[in-house]
Amino acid sequence: MNIHTFLQNTFLFSSFSEKEVGLLETSAALKKIRKGEQIFSEGMEATAFFIVVDGKVKIYKLSPDGKEHTLHIHGTGDLVAEAAIFDAMVYPASCVALEDSTLVRISGEGFRNLIRVHPELSLKMMSGYSKRLRQFVAKIEELSLKDIKARLAGYILEHSAVEKGATVCHLGYSKKELASLLGTIPETLSRALAFLKQKKLIIEKENMILVPDPEKLKAFAE
């Protein structure tokens, strides 16, 4: 994989020139992670941040009684732990690979040195963040205005593809992780799935969901 091209297509660095991406690239390296492998743990020194090339990773915290709480699930193109590089200097949560994944690891020290020498890059990164912030605002509006059944329908459509003439969504997460991603709890998610199945909008088969009529599901989601 071409790290230079990948960095250039990452939202945070999309305004960088070829030369500036080249400077950033000197602090970057590919990292292969196996499913279940710990990438970093809460409280560890934040020596690097990551960008997901492929696969999925989970950010989580453990409560005092050992209960795990999923905070985020990151996929292709997502940044992981970049805030810790400037803010806390330690990772505020833990990260584990949900599946075999490839990450770009960017050295925190190298990145901070680059910003010190070229402070104008901060403004370019702010531009990238402003675009991403608008996406987050749209997501918050969706969470606040739509109930869980509509959000679930929208998620299924967004992650569906046509396979052998059928519209299929492969659920890459456990029900617990998917519930967290959609801002609800597993019990409520199960009821939403049951509702969509009852209305014949979806057909569930193990970790796969078939969509008999995508247009009808789209109308429901909207």
Could you say which of 104, 134, 164 is where a domain stops? 134
Structural domain span for residue 170: 144-221
Say if residue 197 is in the same domain as residue 118. Answer: no
Q: What is the DSSP code string of 79-130?
A: EESHHHHHTTSB-SSEEEESSSEEEEEEEHHHHHHHHHH-THHHHHHHHHHH
Task: Please give the pLDDT value at position 208.
Answer: 87
Contact criterion met (CB below 8 Å) for 32 and 102: yes
| Domain CATH code at residue 149 | 1.10.10.10
Contact criterion met (CB below 8 Å) for 169 and 208: yes
Say if residue 187 is in the same domain as residue 127. Answer: no
Say if residue 125 is in the same domain as residue 164. Answer: no
Mean pLDDT in order along the chain per 10 residues (222 residues) = 90 90 95 96 93 94 84 89 78 93 94 92 83 68 70 89 88 81 85 92 88 91 81
CB under 8 Å to 15, separation ≥6 — which residues?
Answer: 124, 125, 127, 128
Task: Please give the pLDDT value at position 182.
Answer: 82
Task: Please give the pLDDT value at position 87.
Answer: 67
Q: Which amino acid does the sequence have at 45?
A: E
Say if residue 47 is in the same domain as residue 105. Answer: yes
Distance CA 83, CA 19 (A): 24
Task: Please give the pLDDT value at position 139.
Answer: 63
| Domain CATH code at residue 28 | 2.60.120.10
202: left (phi over 0), alpha (psi -120 to 50) or beta: beta
Contact criterion met (CB below 8 Å) for 140 and 21: no
Bridge-based pairing of strands 203-205 and 38-40 is unpaired
Say if residue 153 is in the same domain as residue 124. Answer: no
Say if residue 24 is in the same domain as residue 75. Answer: yes
Say if residue 10 is in the same domain as residue 113. Answer: yes
Distance CA 104, CA 209 (A): 31
Say if residue 183 is in the same domain as residue 159. Answer: yes
Task: Please give the pLDDT value at position 94.
Answer: 95
Report how far apart, in Å, the C-alpha atoms of 182 and of each of 22, 27, 35, 150, 154 are.
Answer: 37, 34, 23, 11, 10
Could you say which of 91, 116, 134 is where a domain stops? 134
**Number of domains into which the chain is organized:** 2
Residue 201, classed as helix, strand or coil, is coil
Could you say which of 112, 134, 156 is where a domain stops? 134
Q: Is residue 139 part of a domain?
A: no
Say if residue 126 is in the same domain as residue 165. Answer: no
